[in-house]
A and B are shown apart, each in its own frame.
Chain A
Amino acid sequence: MFVAKTYSMPEKKDNMQITVPHRMSRKSQVQTVVPTNHRWQTDTRAVNDTEEQAIIRSQNFSLHYGSKVGVKNITMDIYPHSVTAIIGPSGCGKSTFLRSINRMNDLIPHVHTEGRLEVVGQNIYDKRTNLVNLRQEVGMVFQRPNPFPKSIFDNAAYGPHLQGIRRKDELQYIVEQSLRAAALWDEVKDDLKKSALALSGGQQQRLCIARALATKPRVLLMDEPCSALDPIATGRIEDLMGQLQSTYTIVIVTHNMQQAARVSERAAFFCLGELIEYDRTSKIFSNPGKKGTEDYVTGRFG
């Protein structure tokens, strides 16, 4: 589906917005996103992944920077409508893996990959992959808030604009919906013309999330989205993830193990470019299968 002209849906099971017209899909989404502000609890969450098929499939995926190893032989499935956390010590390749999912590593020279990495059934490292379609399908939020030096509206409308939506009212609608989805609407609705750089750090990060949501992705990659934020802003972002997971598939890289435990359903532990353990978060934190994982989560190293 990332090949430009052969846009087909390999599976429709988890999907409710791709096949319907744009505005319709937004409406259906609005109904699902309930603006709740209460803290979202891990243990009260319903888990039914066994019935669902993985949306991201990594099979013996390796990535090298020249002769340096980024990640090697990663085999893991990531399931839709859930939060998957990737944890591990610095330099273990968790960000590299995350960025591989929408091929952001292409920016770095001399990168080459082996193995397969499938998103919605298609190997994204295929030569025919259309990067533009892939990246609209797999959104990304970065470590530091990086809104463009434009107005809030222009930031949120950037993705839809790219998709060729030019009508003002349509853009207005999408911007409002994405800002609502990112729980930012009430704070900025009166000055959408203001520069995004005038917002606070937490607001900027939520704007980045809204910007990513505006392209209607299925997967949202978050690369340590809270590391540059204070605890209150972090709390808001975490709330947001709880609300978003019903609609999107979220993959989050984090250094903060409390955060991983709070927000994620599954967790993968990376070390030295390899996937050590991948399981339900509750299991990883309470009863890890590997010694290394236990040492890491209990704070013995890392």
Chain B
Amino acid sequence: MNQRTRIQLDHLFTAATGASILLLLLVLIAVLGPMVYRGSGAVFFSGTVEFRKMQRDLFERADQPALDAEIAETEKVRQAVYEMIDGFKKDMDVEGMSSQVRQIYREFGEELRQKDVPAEQYTKLRELTRGIRDKLEAAFQSQDVNEISRTVDEVLQYADDPRLKDTSAAKLFEIARNFLQAAQRTDLAKHHEYAAGLQEVERILFHSDGLPGLLGPRPNEPLPLLVMLRYGATRWDQAQKLLDRFLWVEQWVQTEPGRPLKMQRTPRADLFPESFRPLFTYVEQNAGGMLNPISTVYWQFFKDDNANSHYFGGIGPEILGTMLITVVGMLFVIPLGVISAAYLVECASDGWVIRIIRMGINTLAGVPSIVFGLFGLAFFVLFLFPLLGFEPRPCILAASMTLAVLTLPVMIRASEEAIRAVPQSYKEGSLALGASRFHTFTAVILPAALPGILTGVILSLSRIAGETAPILFTGAVSLGAVPDSIFDPTRTLSYGSYDMAVGDRLAMMVPHNQYGMVVTLVMLILILNGITIVLRWRVFKKLRGQ
């Protein structure tokens, strides 16, 4: 092979290495990028007036006068929506009208009795109003506009009757006129469809049994029990989704027989009569005015407790729980791991017992984590705790101990390698000065092995902070109080992510919270690792004497 080929091959290898590193970086960006982007939505978003209301009610965090002004302003814009809906409802409410008519008829009778009208006239008027009532009732039953118009006209010829003027019976004619107008405006045959459509519209705008609406409950309605139903769309992106659902109806229709169904979007306005359609354009054009979105930095996401299974609020207790479990776990892992490694390197001879111990450590490193979870439940929670007089229930201590057992093999292996890598000459030098083996280990070997041991710490730290299965039964809960001590169970980021992912449809509605939790977990591990790496680097530098 000549010189040039060699040089070219050399370049080729360099290029290949560079390309593979670049590929790795791209993969990392492709994996982390979208996750971080979506997770950042939990903190940076466009918050509506509903968000600020929620913050005030749940976390007592508001500029009260400014918020009051804002609410008043948005309510002013919303007023038109309420009026339009109420008006349409009134038009639709035939039964209400008929009961009103009957009520007026009764009231009129009462009025006549109180006035001491002569018996003859009383009977006549009663008959007349009864006739009007029956005609109107008939009109209410009808669906034909012409017939209704005829009947109403018949009724209205009595409108100028002086006997009925200025009495409660006069209201009957008003109802009759309104009904006629409503009948002309809407298609009476479609009343049932309208009613169903209106219900849907109200659900989307205000709230339904399980889902929050665009605007939240109307001002004078009683507050729903579920916290999440008490507020409209708190985030502008959510609002836009709801607005889309409000404006469009999605239907799966069959275009051809034997072909898959196709989704068809039709404007929801088409379902309603002309008179009601302005509502949709109004809401579309004034959504901003009704919700007043302002870009918000919700840094309290990392501090706040959540409300309504993570529908609102932050992940403060989850972060706290993860940190607690990690710290307590590391308190078990580091001493146990280092001492075990020291024993294996310094004290143990190469007998069959040691070989079995080593094999055990290697096997434990490969056991699925759920097995450790079950072990933790059976051993720590159900066996050890009662034995020591603690209440046998899942708690942070049990979870930390389970995780410690899980990561112990990693820690032992890393520490063993680190201790073994310390030059024998250090040990000899120390022993030759008259140091005992214990002193030699603590004063010379351990400091020299510290960078390697810290590598083990990094590995176990990430594992402990991120594991879910071992704490499933030993200490994690999805909802619950913030722990008072390590004898309480806690929420954690890892278990929270899992729980939200498998939990219920709520998680689908708040993907930002789900991603936020996952990204926070990743960042937390990254930060903890970063601290350890800096520490290791400094120890390493100090050992090297730079």
Contact = CB atoms under 8 A, between A and B. Distances in A.
B435 A162 contact: yes
A197 B431 contact: no
Contacts of A75: none
A150 to B, nearest CB: 7
A208 B429 CA distance: 8
Given A146-B428, A149-B447, A215 B545 contact: no
Nearest to A133: B434
Interface stretch (B70-78, B144-152, B394-402, B436-444): B436-444
Interface string A125-137: 0000001111110
Contacts of B435: 132, 158, 162
A283 B544 CA distance: 46
A146 B429 CA distance: 7
A198 B434 contact: no
Nearest to B444: A148
A65 B107 CA distance: 122
Given A149-B543, A195-B544, A144 B425 contact: yes
Interface residues of A, number: 32
User: Chain B's interface: helix, strand, loop or mixed, by majority?
Assistant: helix
Given A144-B425, A149-B448, A195 B433 contact: no
Nearest to B433: A159
Interface string A187-222: 000000011111000000000100110010000000
Given A109-B349, A146-B426, A102 B432 contact: yes
B50 to A, nearest CB: 61
Interface residues of B, number: 24
Contacts of B546: 195, 198
Contact of A104 (B426, B431, B543, B544): B431
A197 B448 CA distance: 12
A140 interface: yes
A211 B447 CA distance: 19
Contacts of A163: 434
B433 A136 contact: yes
B425 A135 contact: no
Given A194-B545, A195-B543, A198-B546, A162 B433 contact: yes
A135 B433 contact: yes
B537 to A, nearest CB: 15
B436 to A, nearest CB: 6
A25 B428 CA distance: 27
B439 A162 contact: yes
Select the residue from A102, A139, A148 with max chain B CB neighbours within 10 A: A148
A149 B545 CA distance: 8
B433 A215 contact: yes
A197 B432 contact: no
B369 to A, nearest CB: 37
B335 interface: no
Given A148-B444, A149-B447, A149-B543, A142 B428 contact: yes
Contacts of A159: 433-434
A46 interface: no
A147 B428 CA distance: 11
A232 interface: no
Contacts of A131: 434
B430 interface: yes
A38 to B, nearest CB: 31
B428 A195 contact: no
Contacts of A197: 543-545
B545 A196 contact: yes
B431 A135 contact: yes
Nearest to B448: A149
A90 to B, nearest CB: 19
Given A148-B444, A149-B447, A212 B432 contact: yes
A136 B434 contact: yes
A37 to B, nearest CB: 27
B545 A148 contact: no
Interface string B293-318: 00000000000000000000000000
A212 B428 contact: no
The 9 closest A-B CB pairs, nearest first, are A195-B545, A198-B545, A146-B425, A135-B434, A136-B434, A140-B432, A197-B545, A149-B543, A146-B429
8 contacts: A104-B431, A107-B431, A132-B435, A144-B425, A162-B439, A163-B434, A195-B546, A208-B429
Given A135-B433, A146-B425, A197-B545, 20 more contacts: A107-B428, A132-B436, A136-B433, A142-B428, A142-B432, A146-B428, A146-B429, A148-B444, A149-B543, A149-B545, A158-B435, A162-B434, A162-B439, A163-B434, A195-B543, A195-B544, A195-B545, A197-B543, A198-B546, A215-B433
